[in-house]
Amino acid sequence: MSIEIEHVNKRFGHFVAVDDVTLSLPEGQLTALLGPSGSGKTSLLRIIAGLEFPDSGRIRFHGEDATDVHVSRRGVGFVFQHYALFKHMTVFDNVAYGLTVQPRRLRPSKAEIRNRVTRLLELVQLDWTANRLPAQLSGGQRQRIALARALAVEPKVLLLDEPFGALDAKVRAELRRWLRRLHDEIHLTSVFVTHDQEEALEVSDRIVVMNQGRVEQEGTPEEVYDHPANPFVFSFLGQVNLFHARVQDGQARIGDLALPTAATGDQPEGHGLAYVRPHDIEILADDSAQGALAAVVEGITVVGPTARLELKVAGARDLIHAELPKSRLRSLGLSQGSNTWVRPLNGRVFVEPGRTPADPESVGM
């Protein structure tokens, strides 16, 4: 079942939570709503669920208007950030709840309920916890029970609010992969909210990047990561270095160095900012390459196989961050205080209209 969101607006007092959002979430896909806190992603999810009412706009499920359908009849599965398991009920009763509250004529028989709950508990690999109370489970287990409970009523869409937010790093990673596999098995149209770009990139089929109540970009993880539509998306999806750049004839230059990527924006000429990811900064042993910038190594951090460098480029205010394999670092023979040269290999330039070209220097991150 696809979800169509049309011109949805939502304010809380003076705060604009959702600002004229129009989106179409295709059937059977797992979509991530990604954004910083306060970007309106959770409000949008709650509006889709029917837990919050939009000030204006429509929500359609598979073309059918659901805006005024009450949450209890909307047929959504909702997994809350803190699970919202019923503390006083056993795991079994929690999962069975949605079935037992149905009107008598629709309610499955006791045996049928038992069957379905058992199957769901097997699906989330927690059938042995049926008679426990939620307080006796770990965070990751509670999360999976919350999911089983949401699936018990056979929802048309599944909505998850920061599903891994309250878990520690290891459980988080495991549960992420598990959710992805589960989705591949059941193919239910699903939407989850996250502020963690890595999580969104790893798990989802589609990413919707939100900021200040608006959709900044929408697309597959590759599209969004490789072709960010604007500076916000670029900087939100990972660490980034900023360089002042001049744009002439559709060619961007940082100092003497020509960047291979074309500039964006309406103006073919002017001053812009080049966004370069740390792994797109090449570290050179000498200044043989044209346009390389002289730099001093300020700090080295080795995390597993990757080395992270902090570099001071002459005349620049902020440090440049670069990432390279540990082996490469060793062959360069760099240590703290070494002189070296850096060259942005790949990047994206966003032209700032009305600014005149300035000195080639790197600015804030």
Partner 1 sequence: MTLALRQPSVIPGFGITLGFTLFYMGLILLIPIGAFLLYTAQMSWADFWQAVSHRQVVASYKLSFGASLIAALLNLVFGAIVAWVLVRYQFFGKRVIDALVDLPFAMPTAVAGIALVTLYASTGWVGQYLEILGLRVAYTQLGVVVALTYIGLPFVVRTVQPVLEDLERELEEASAILGANRLTTLRRVILPALLPALLTGFALAFARALGEYGSVIFIAGNLPFRTEITPLLIVAKAEQYDYPGAAAIGTVMLLAAFVLLLLINTLQWWTARHSRR
Partner 2 sequence: MSTIASHIHGTRAAAPTWRRATEEPAWVRRLLIGIALGFLSLFLVLPLTVVLYGAFEQGLQVWYAAITEPDAQAAIRLTLLVVAIVVPINLVFGVMAAWAIAKFEFRGKSVLITLIDLPFAISPVVVGLIFVILLGSQGWLGPWLAEHDLRVIFAVPGIIIVIAFGTMPFVARELIPLMQQQGKEEEESSLTLGANGWQTFWRVTLPNIKWGVIYGVILCNARAMGEFGAVAVVSGRIRGETNTMPLHIEVLYNEYLFTAAFAVSSLLAGLAIVTIAVKSLVDWRDERQRHQAAA
The minimum distance between CB 69 and partner 1, in angstroms, equals 11
Residue with tokens 């599965």: 77
Q: Which helix (H) or strand (E) holds 183?
A: helix 169-186
Strands in 281-284's sheet, in edge-to-edge order, are 281-284, 339-344, 293-303, 306-313, 320-325
**Sole binder of partner 1 in the list 2, 6, 9, 11 (CB under 8 A):** 11
354 scored as a contact of partner 1 (CB under 8 A)? no
Window 13-72: residues binding partner 1 (CB under 8 A): 13, 50-53, 70-71
Residue 88 interacts with which of partner 2, partner 1, none, CB < 5 to 8 Å by class? partner 2
Q: Which CA distances in Å does 130 have to 66, 88, 137, 150, 212?
A: 34, 13, 11, 16, 42
115 binds, among partner 2, partner 1, none (CB under 5 to 8 A by kind): none
Q: What is the CB neighbour count within 10 angstroms for residue 143?
A: 29
Per-residue contact string for residues 32-71; x = within reach of partner 2 by CB under 8 A: -----------------xxx------------------xx
> With CB cut-offs between 5 and 8 Å by kind, which of partner 1, partner 2, none does residue 53 bind?
partner 1
Determine the distance from the C-alpha atom of residue 193 to the mean position of all C-alpha atoms in its chain, rounded to a whole number.
8
Q: Computed from CA positions of residues 326, 330, 336, 338, in that sequence, does the dihedral angle turn out positive or negative? A: negative
Which string of x and - marks every residue 79-118 that binds partner 2 (by CB under 8 A)? -x-x-xxxxxx-------xx--xx----------------
86 binds partner 1 per the rule CB under 8 A: no
For residues 97-156, which are near partner 1 according to CB under 8 A?
A: none
Burial of 77 (0-12, 13-18, 19+ CB in 10 A): buried
Beta bridge partners of 248: 251
Give residues in contact with partner 1 (CB under 8 A).
11-13, 50-53, 70-71
Task: Point out which residues bind partner 2 (CB under 8 A).
Answer: 49-51, 70-74, 76-78, 80, 82, 84-89, 97-98, 101-102, 135-136, 149-150, 152-153
